């Protein structure tokens, strides 16, 4: 994980917020078929956990 692209900062004049998007390198993580059902379930659980313990923060997963 020594190689990375520079982040992209887009101009925005609306209300303050932070949006984080990532695109995993499946080859680097030896996942030739992409994310499997177990990893998706784990990530979904983490999102639900975060939404439950940080009530003042809007949390979404796949725009839901």
Flag whether 35 is in a domain.
yes
Flag whether 29 is in a domain.
yes
Q: Residue 32 to residues 2, 27, 41, 51, 52: CA-CA distances in angstroms?
A: 20, 6, 18, 31, 33
Q: Is-above-0.75 flag for pTM?
A: no
Q: How confident is the model over 14-45, as pLDDT tens digits?
A: 888 777 777 788 888 888 888 889 988 998 99
Flag whether 54 is in a domain.
yes
Could you give the number of structural domains in the chain? 1
Residue 31 belongs to what domain range? 21-64
Residue in the block written with tokens 């078929």: 33
Radius of gyration of the chain from its Cα atoms, rounded to whole angstroms: 15
């Amino acid at each position: 994980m020594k190689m990375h692209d520079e982040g992209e900062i887009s101009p925005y004049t609306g209300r303050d917020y932070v949006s984080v998007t990532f695109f995993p390198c499946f080859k680097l993580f030896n996942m030739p078929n992409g994310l499997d059902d177990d990893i998706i379930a784990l990530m979904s659980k983490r999102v639900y956990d975060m939404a439950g313990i940080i009530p003042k923060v809007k949390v979404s997963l796949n725009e839901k």
